[in-house]
Structure formats: C-alpha cells, structure tokens
Amino acid sequence: MKTYKYKIGDQSNTIRIGNLLDDMWQVHAYFHKWQDQRYKDGLPYANYAAMCQHAKDLKRTTHPHWKSLPSQAIQAELERIDNAYQRFFNKLGGKPHIKPRHKFKSITLKQTGYKLTNNRITLTFRKWDKGKWRFDKVPYTFHKHRQWQGTISRITIKRDACGDYWLCLTTTYTDFRPLPATGESVGADFGMKDAFLTLNTGEKIQHPQPLKSNLNKLRSLNKELSRKKKGSNGWWWCVRQLARLYRKISNQRKDFHWQLSSKLCKKFDTIILETLNLEGMKRLWGRKVSDLGFYQFVEIVKYKCQKHKRELRQVGQWTATTKPCSDCGFHNESLTLNDRQWICPECGSDHDRDINAAINILRAGIAVT
C-alpha cells in the first residue's frame, strides 16, 4: 500500500469540507458517549455491526439530519471507533476518548461519494432542498504534483492545524525499485553532540536542527499570542502563524531524513544502526532528541530499505559500542560522555569516539549473520 498526498486548493466552497468534518465530529462524539453510557449501564460492548445498526436506527428516528452525511464516511468512522476499542481491550492502547472538535481532522471514503478526474476531485454532498434530498456535486482542484500508481482503495480528506485541506489517496501499489548492488556495508552511530550520524568511513553528517533554529521565532510568536485576547481575530492569526511554523519545522526535518536515507540506500547494501533507547535519551537530553527525530529517521530508513531491496540491521541496545577499542578490543571503562577523542592505553591508537562506535556497530551487525 502506498499513500499519495495532494494539497487541495483554496476555493470559495472549501468551507463545505470543513463543515462536513465538523458534522462528522458529531457522529464521533455521539458514539463515544453512547459506548460510555452502555458501559455505565452494564451493557456489553457494541461491536462494529451493532454500531452500524444503531446509526441506521438513529437516522430513521432522532437524527434524520445524519442522512446528509456520506454513509461510507460514517461507516469508516465507526470502524475507527471499533478499532480504538479493540486496541484498548487488547491492552494496546489507552481508553478511547472524544476528540475536541478542532482536533477531529479527517474523513475516509472507500468507493462512493467521490469521483476523480484528472486533477479534480468531485465530492457529493447531500442536502435537503424543497422537500426532498438533492445531490450536490462540488469539484475541488488539487495540486497533482505526481501521478499515482495502482488502484485506489480509499481516499482520506484531511484538515491540518493551519486550516489547509489535503487529499490522501491510498493505493494498492507497492513501490519496489531495487537498486544495483554495491557490495558495501555501513555502520552508523547516532550522536547528540558532534554530529547526527557518524559513519564508520569517518563521514559525519550534521542535522539542520530546525526546531533550534526557529526557536526564537517560536518564542516571540508565543509571547505575542499570550498578549492577545483569546478568541479575537489577532489571536487566531497568531494561532495560525504558530501552526504554520510548526508545520515548516516538521517539513524541514522530514526532508532531511528522506534525503539522508536515500543517500545511504544508494551507497550501501547493508545499513547497520543501533537500537535506540529513546526514553532514556529524552531524560538526558530533553528537547534536542525530539528535534533530531531519531525514531522517524529509522522508520524512513526501514521503508527505503524495503523499497530499494537493501538490508537494515539493528544492533541490540545492550551491545557495547562506545567503550571497546575498534583496533584491539580493549574496554575503556573510564570513558565518559565528554571524551570525544581518546587514545587506547593497550595499542595506542587514536580514536574519535563516534567513528570508533560506528566501526564497532558495523562489526556487531556483520557478526549477527
């Protein structure tokens, strides 16, 4: 499965999508409350089929206005609620709760309710007009920056914090484009101090650290926000600006991660990384860990490796990588976090801390097979 994301252009009737999302939020809120009430009354959990039946009954009786909502979107929302509860029952997630309306961000349609032609998506809205239901077909233009492959299994319309709308097409296509073998392997060490990634070849890759570089802007915007009257036009303007800045930061980070993982996949057949202890790192380093986005980077490398038929290996968390000397194997127990360079007392070789670790990672990774 591959998902393509396109931005829906701003036009005068874009607000109808927003209204539809807000209406769909009511379904979301209603069914969460309903499940809660059932639980309090000692009734068993109502599964997906039971929720669908209940939705049908509601449309006939107390909620006739729900008839204007696309039925597939309602089904998809009920499926989502059911999934959340199933995860909760299987102890995979927390108790499902109602999202605030502004955080309810997307609706999903499977086959009906939309039509795609060229760079347009036509959505069908239902409205009650002169005593009967009418279908309102509204075309929206989206920025088709690339052609999708395969058949579309479902579409999702999203609203982000900046108030922009996005069209996500999920297709059955699997992107598989193997790259020619290079016969090279690489060990890479994540670092906090000198570089984001150090390769065993000695190459050090710096991270742009978008959060850090935009921190001043963020602070001044937050200050401005706190001076404004909550709910006023100026306050909303500030909220939007902040959302835009956060989006920019995350895009910069993502861009860096994609480019770097693509570069690694082109050069090397086998990529060996260490398994990260993110919780511990967060305690030690705070904000910087989130800014670097190690987890996201590993996920992207995983995807890229699958796509280009590369192998990703992860060395266990408890494998010693920093302390042993990569030349003679001597364990330098006196090494602290601040020692960037050290000389091995056994064989006398001069080590850069990160490059030494990268070499050890590479060795440990090769030894696994």
Please report whether residue 69 would count as binding Zn ion according to CB under 5 A: no
300 near Zn ion, rule: CB under 5 A: no
Q: Which is nearer to Zn ion, 184 or 346 (CB)?
A: 346
Minimum distance, C-beta of residue 340 to Zn ion, in the bound complex (Å): 17
Q: How far is the CB of 330 from Zn ion (least distance, A)?
A: 5
Q: How far is the CB of 329 from Zn ion (least distance, A)?
A: 7
Size of the site for Zn ion (CB under 5 A): 7
Instruction: State the nearest-atom distance from the C-beta of 185 to Zn ion, in Å.
Output: 22
Report if residue 343 touches Zn ion, rule: CB under 5 A.
Answer: no
Kindly tell me which of 148 and 330 has the beta carbon lying closer to Zn ion.
330
Residue 352 within binding range of Zn ion, rule CB under 5 A: no
Contact residue for Zn ion among 1, 43, 284, 328 (CB under 5 A):
328
User: Cα–Cα distance between 337 and 83 in angstroms, integer?
Assistant: 44
Q: Does 327 bind Zn ion (CB under 5 A)?
A: yes
- Rule CB under 5 A: say whether 325 interacts with Zn ion: yes
Nearer to Zn ion, 66 or 342 (CB): 342
Q: How far is the CB of 344 from Zn ion (least distance, A)?
A: 3
Distance CA 180, CA 222 (A): 49
Contacts (CB under 5 A) with Zn ion, residues 223-262: none
Compute the least distance from the CB of residue 319 to Zn ion, in Å.
Answer: 18
How far is residue 116 from each of residues 94, 123, 170, 226, 324, measured CA to CA in Å?
37, 9, 13, 44, 59
Kindly indicate which of the ranges 129-137, 139-147, 248-256, 318-326 contains the residues binding Zn ion, using the contact rule CB under 5 A: 318-326
344 is a site residue for Zn ion (CB under 5 A) = yes
Cα–Cα distance between 351 and 70 in angstroms, integer?
A: 64
Kindly state whether residue 320 participates in binding Zn ion, applying the rule CB under 5 A. no
Q: Of 125-154, which residues contact Zn ion (CB under 5 A)?
A: none
Largest CA distance in the chain: 91
Q: Which of 43, 347, 366, 368 binds Zn ion (CB under 5 A)?
A: 347
Dihedral sign, Cα of residue 85, residue 91, residue 95, residue 100: negative
* Distance separating alpha carbons of residues 252 and 249, to the nearest angstrom: 5
d(CA 362, CA 360): 5
Instruction: Choose the binding region for Zn ion from 12-20, 29-37, 84-92, 325-333 (rule: CB under 5 A).
Output: 325-333
Instruction: Give yes or no for a contact between 255 and 238, defined as CB atoms under 8 angstroms apart.
Output: no
CB of 324 to Zn ion, least distance (A): 8
346 binding Zn ion? (CB under 5 A): yes
Q: Which residues pair with 3 in a beta bridge?
A: 170
- Of 85-93, 115-123, 304-312, 344-352, which segment contacts Zn ion by CB under 5 A? 344-352
Q: Which residues bind Zn ion (CB under 5 A)?
A: 325, 327-328, 330, 344, 346-347
